[in-house]
Amino acid sequence: MILMTGMKSIEEEIRNIIKNKGISLYRIAKDLGVSWESLYRSLLNGANPKWNRIKSLLDYLDYEFMLKPKRREVKPIKSKPSRSRRN
């Protein structure tokens, strides 16, 4: 699981995971069937990669992406009862 704290980007977190695992981008690109250049550009800060690229990298690295509320539980908005036009 990736626990993002502060203002780090998902690209930076993935780069840190790759660095800590000691895997080369070339090897990952080869295993995923993408070009090294494309993978490298996807992991630049501000690159805004597509979700399928992030998902495939996380699957490859054996991580998952999880969302959770920051401070408190988000309460659902109560819907107003609908008024019937029929009398």
Give yes or no for residue 59 having a pLDDT over 70: yes
> Higher model confidence: residue 5 or residue 14?
14
Determine the pLDDT at residue 70: 75
Contact 65, 58 (CB under 8 A): yes
Q: What is the pLDDT of residues 21-47, one digit of tens each?
A: 999 999 999 999 999 999 999 999 888
Per-residue pLDDT at 87 exceeds 90 = no
Positive or negative, the Cα torsion across 26, 59, 74, 72? negative
Domains and CATH numbers, the chain: 10-60 (1.10.260)
- Asked if the model's pLDDT at residue 2 lies above 60, the reply is no
What is the value of pTM for the model shown?
0.67
Q: pLDDT higher for 78 or 53?
A: 53
Q: How far apart are CA 77 and CA 26, in angstroms?
A: 48
